[in-house]
Amino acid sequence: MRRWFQLNANRLTIQGAPCLLLQHRNVTTRRMAHDDIERAHVQAETFAALVATTGEAILTYDMEGRIISWNPAAERLYGYTEEEALGQSVELLYPPEWPTRVLEYRDQIMAGKLRQFNAVRVAKDGTERHVTIACTPIRTLSGDIVSISNIHHDVTATRKAEEVRDLVSREVIHRAKNMLSLVTAMQRQTASSAASLAEFNKSFGARIQALARSTDLLVDGGWSSVDLAELVRAQLDPFLHLQAKAVDVDGPSVALGPQALQLIGMALHELATNSTKYGVMSDGCGDIQCHWSHTEKGGLRFQWIETGITFDPSANKATGFGSKVLSVLAPAMVNGAAETVTSENALTWTVTIPAAHLGKLA
C-alpha cells in the first residue's frame, strides 16, 4: 500500500557537530481524501459538461415534483428557458387531462417499478412532443432519495412517420378492396349482358383498360388528385384515334379525387362506347360537347351532350353495365346525383360531384 508523508528537516548541533533532524508525518489519509475530492470534482465537471452539451433533454425534479435542473437541450425541446422552468412543477409539460401525475411517477420510480416509459409532453408554444423518458432516483451517500432525474428522448418524428405509414397502409388496403369490388361488379354485369364469350371478352377488356387509364393517372398524381381535362383526353383518345370527329372539351381547371376520377373515367368510356356503336362517333354526324363547371357549393357539374344523333336513343334499351354506370354506380361512388336525358336526336348525361371529392392541382 502506498503511503504519503510530510517531511520536515531541521538543522541541529550536537556536541559541536552539525546534524539534520528529519520528521516524517503520515498524511496518507489526508492525501487520499484530497484525491477523492479531486476525482469527484473532475467527475462532476465532466458530468456537467455532458449534460450541458448532450442533445438529450435532461431535467431533475425534487420530491414534490418541482424542477431543480434544466439543461440546454430541454430548453430547445420545450422552449422554456432555465429561468422559466426552475421551480415550476414538471407537470408544466403535461397535456391537459394527462392521466398520470408527477407524484405517481415519483412513487413508481422510487419503488423500482418504473425505469422508462413513453409519454406526450407539450412545449411552450403548444406543440405536442412524443418522448421516451428514462428515469432514475438520485440518492445521497446515506442512500436517501432526494430527487428524480429524467432524460427525455424526442421521438416525435418517428411517431409521425409510423402514423403516416399506418395511414398509407390502411388507405392502400381500402383502395385495393374498392378496386376489386369494382372489377367484380364490372365482370358480373358485363357477363350478364354479353351474348357470347367473345363479346364478353371484348367488352370486359375494354372496361378494364379504361379503368387502368384512370388508375395510371391516379398513380402518377401520387393517389391525391388528377386534372379533369387530362382525364378526358386519356379516356377519349382511344376512340378519337379512328374518328375524324373531335369532341368539344371545355371547363375550368379542376382536380379530381380518387373516387371522382374513377367515376368520370368509367362514365366517359361508356358514353364514348355508346357513341361509337350508335351515335356521333359511328357516322361522323352531329356534335359532342364535354363541358363542366363549378356549382354554387364548390362542387362539380359535368355534362356530356351529344346532338345530331340520327337514331332514337330511347329505342336502345340500356339495361347493361354501361347504363348502371351512368345511372347508379357513378353517382353512388361520390354520393352525387346523375341524370340522363334523351330525345329523338340528342343525349345529355349530367353528374354532380360534391366538393369533398375534388382536390387541389399541384
For residues 214 and 265, the answer to whether their CB atoms sit within 8 Å is yes
User: Are 195 and 133 within one domain?
Assistant: no
What Cα–Cα distance (Å) separates residue 114 from each residue in 125, 157, 172?
Answer: 29, 25, 39
Asked if 125 and 206 sit in the same domain, the reply is: no
Do 147 and 61 form a contact (C-beta atoms < 8 A)?
A: yes
Widest distance between CA atoms in the chain: 152
Residues 16 and 146 in one domain: no
* Gap between the Cα atoms of 294 and 304, Å rounded: 15
Shared domain check, 257 and 217: yes
Cell numbers at 270, concatenated:
361508356
CB 25, CB 8: distance < 8 Å: yes
Q: Which distant-in-sequence residues (6+ apart) come within 8 Å of 245 by Cβ?
A: 280, 281, 284, 288
* The total number of structural domains that make up the chain: 3
Residue 331 within a domain: yes
Res 222: pLDDT: 59
Q: Which helix (H) or strand (E) holds 109?
A: helix 102-110
Query: Is residue 194 domain-shared with residue 340, that is, in the same domain?
Result: yes
Name the grid cell of 30: 489526508
CATH number at residue 62: 3.30.450.20
Are 112 and 236 in the same domain? no
**Final residue in a domain of this structure, among 119, 154, 189:** 154
Q: Which of these three, 126, 154, 182, is where a domain ends?
A: 154
242 and 349 together in one domain: yes
| Dist. CA 203–CA 186, nearest whole Å | 10
Same domain, 24 and 134: no
In whole angstroms, give the CA distance from residue 152 to residue 154. 6
Determine the pLDDT at residue 63: 94
Q: Tell me whether residue 161 is in a domain.
A: no
**One-letter amino acid identity for 280?**
V
Check: CB of residue 299 under 8 Å from CB of residue 339: no
Size of the chain, expressed as the number of residues it contains: 362
CB 346 within 8 A of CB 307: yes
pLDDT tens digits along 169-208: 665 565 566 556 656 766 776 677 678 888 888 877 776 7
> Mean pLDDT in runs of 10 for the chain (362 residues)?
77 81 76 69 58 78 93 92 94 94 94 93 94 91 88 89 69 59 65 80 76 65 73 78 69 87 82 79 80 92 87 51 69 81 86 86 56
Q: Which of 81, 93, 91, 80 is nearest to 129 (CA)?
A: 93
- Let me know if residue 168 belongs to a domain: no
DSSP-assigned states of every residue in 274-286: HHHHHSHHHHS-S
Q: What is the pLDDT of residue 52?
A: 60
pLDDT at site 14: 80
Shared domain for 294 and 203, answered yes or no, is yes
Three-state SS at 47? helix
Boundaries of domain holding 4: 1-53
**The three grid cell numbers given for residue 226, joined into one nine-digit string:** 388528377
pLDDT at res. 104 = 94
Q: What is the pLDDT of residues 257-285, one digit of tens each?
A: 888 887 888 888 788 878 877 778 776 67
